Amino acid sequence: MLYLASFFFPALAGILVGTLKLLAKGRRSLCILAMILSDILGGLAAAFGGEITFFTFAPGVSVSFRADALGRFFLILVLVLYTAVLFYAFEYMQMEEREGMFFAFFFVSLGALLSATMAANLVTFYLCFEFATLTSMPLVLHELTRDAIAAARKYLFYSIGGALMGLLGVFYVYFCAGPSTSFAPGGILDPVKAAENRAVLLALVFVAIVGFGTKAGLYPMHGWLPTAHPIAPAPASSLLSGIIAKAGILAVIRLVYHSVGVEFLRGTWVQLAWSILAMLTIFMGSMMAFQEKVTKKRLAYSTISQLSYIMLGLSLLSEAGLIGGLLHAAAHVAAKGCLFLCAGVFIYKLGKKRVDELYGIGRVMPVTLWCFLLSALSLIGIPPFAGFVSKWHLALASLAQDNPVLAVLMPCILLVSALLTAGYLLPVVVDGFFPELRGHGEPAPSKKSAKAGQKPASEAYSQLPEGSREPSGWMLVPMLALCAISLFVGIFGGPIAQLLSQLLGAAA
């Protein structure tokens, strides 16, 4: 019953929020109560849920749930970011229409993600994964403009297409499975069947990795992210980038580490191709973000790059790579979640959507820009923030692998990407706090930038309003809390990594 309550209560709360005609204060109170109870029920299910089978489709094919260490880890990430975004959205969504519908799908998608974290086998996970896609798509569609409809359609097509690729792998894994299909640290394959069908199984596992990786922006299935993120409201963008996209990461871990088994893939062409795709995505995403001028789209390309840090760690098929990837998942939830919320403040308070409009922004909202800076430092990998700890573990795991070429190339890619990350995030902070550095003698804008509406730095700076434009505590506190989490994970990264190693070491 705990599982049913933890999954269905947020969904029912969302339906209630969406259907009841409430004043803003009434809706806010109902949402806060629903979020608190969702946090409590999720925690209780993770701690005391055990394993339960709801029904069976066929022999060995059941809908079952179980809370293991990996599921609990991702459940915590889901609840932390959803809680922070909820309070932020109370103020931000005042400028949007259909506020009730946003909070309705906010809670329904929360229930879907919670169910995915505690799925006990691949079939159950696949069903929850698809449900998470369907319930999060309306968050992209929210504005109902032509661009929003196109973005939601693209998100849906990419996600369902990727999931169907993953389903091919699920079918064949079950075909080659032993008597138990529940997730297990060494995998569930029958050694004899796996050996007899090795070539086909390897090919379909790779197809499934790319398919599930669609949600995480793995090249060449990354196209939905830079389209969907800028269109969605800022709270939705924070969720999409910070945690919903990580459903793809969880899917790959469940497939590779808990179903196929790392020993079956280690040293094969699948591992090599997976690593190459991850490195290519890291570099490509960083380069695209470096060139992008729309703030939220820049952050979307950054997400493509940063999520492939996790994919790269997972492709090492080692305990160290898994721990580094999970640490980076936590670091990315806090840092990128906060960065999208900061971008939302720029839009909500000043209507600024482009990075070239943010000159002098620190004069009117210094706290928000400090949150942007601290999150950027974590994403770059500067100590003592979480991003440094995760990238350190990923670099060490890369150096420890057997392939001497990749052992050198992978850390180099991580360093180049870190420099590019600094190149597309830190100038926003420098120009925001020190606009006078570009306020004099800058060249005239080109014809292309003039057509796009770009203004000289001095003009953008001079048009900023006087006085503070900081948002209320509803928006500031969640951003500050996410920064605090980045700092906490960075300072206590060693003990957290040791704890993860104790809990998950057997999975590698």
Over the stretch 192-238, which tens digit does the pLDDT of each residue have? 998 999 999 999 999 999 999 999 889 888 888 888 888 889 999 99
pLDDT confidence of residue 503: 77
d(CA 157, CA 152) in angstroms, rounded, equals: 9
pLDDT confidence of residue 463: 60
If pLDDT is split at 50, 70 and 90, which confidence band does 143 have? Answer: confident
Residues facing residue 119 across a β-bridge: 65
User: Beta-strand (E) ranges in 4-58?
Assistant: 51-58
Q: 263: buried, middle or exposed (CB in 10 Å: 19+, 13-18, 0-12)?
A: exposed
Cβ(86)–Cβ(1) below 8 Å: no
Q: Is the pLDDT of residue 271 over 60?
A: yes
Q: H or E element: which one contains 323?
A: helix 319-345
Q: Is the pLDDT of residue 87 over 50?
A: yes
**What's the pLDDT tens digit per position in 472-495?**
889 999 999 999 999 999 999 889
pTM for the model stands at: 0.91
Which residues are CB-neighbours of 263 under 8 A, at least 6 positions away?
186, 187
- Radius of gyration over alpha carbons of the chain, in Å? 22
d(CA 111, CA 65) in angstroms, rounded, equals: 14
pLDDT confidence of residue 368: 93
Cβ(200)–Cβ(148) below 8 Å: no
Mean pLDDT of 391-420: 90
Q: Is the pLDDT of residue 459 over 80?
A: no
If pLDDT is split at 50, 70 and 90, which confidence band does 451 have? Answer: low
Q: Which residue has the higher pLDDT, 4 or 372?
A: 372
Q: How many other CB atoms are found less than 10 A from the CB of residue 445?
A: 17
Q: Is the pLDDT of residue 247 over 70?
A: yes
d(CA 204, CA 351) in angstroms, rounded, equals: 47
User: Beta-strand (E) ranges in 324-421?
Assistant: none
d(CA 265, CA 205) in angstroms, rounded, equals: 9
Pairing of strands 51-58, 61-66: antiparallel
Q: Which residue has the higher pLDDT, 5 or 72?
A: 72
pLDDT confidence of residue 329: 94
Cβ(332)–Cβ(242) below 8 Å: yes
Give the distance, in angstroms, between the CA of residue 386 and the centroid of all CA atoms in the same chain: 15
Percent of the chain with pLDDT over 90: 57
Q: 282: buried, middle or exposed (CB in 10 Å: 19+, 13-18, 0-12)?
A: buried
Buried b (16+ CB within 10 A) or exposed e, 293-317: ebbbbbbbbbbbbbbbbbbbbbbbb
For the chain, percent helix, then strand, then coil, each to nearest 5?
75, 5, 20
Q: 178: buried, middle or exposed (CB in 10 Å: 19+, 13-18, 0-12)?
A: middle
Q: 148: buried, middle or exposed (CB in 10 Å: 19+, 13-18, 0-12)?
A: middle
Q: Indicate the length of the chain as a whole number.
A: 508
Lowest mean pLDDT among 21-25, 313-317, 404-408: 21-25
d(CA 398, CA 403) in angstroms, rounded, equals: 9
* Omega before residue 383 within 30° of 0, cis: no
Residues facing residue 62 across a β-bridge: 56
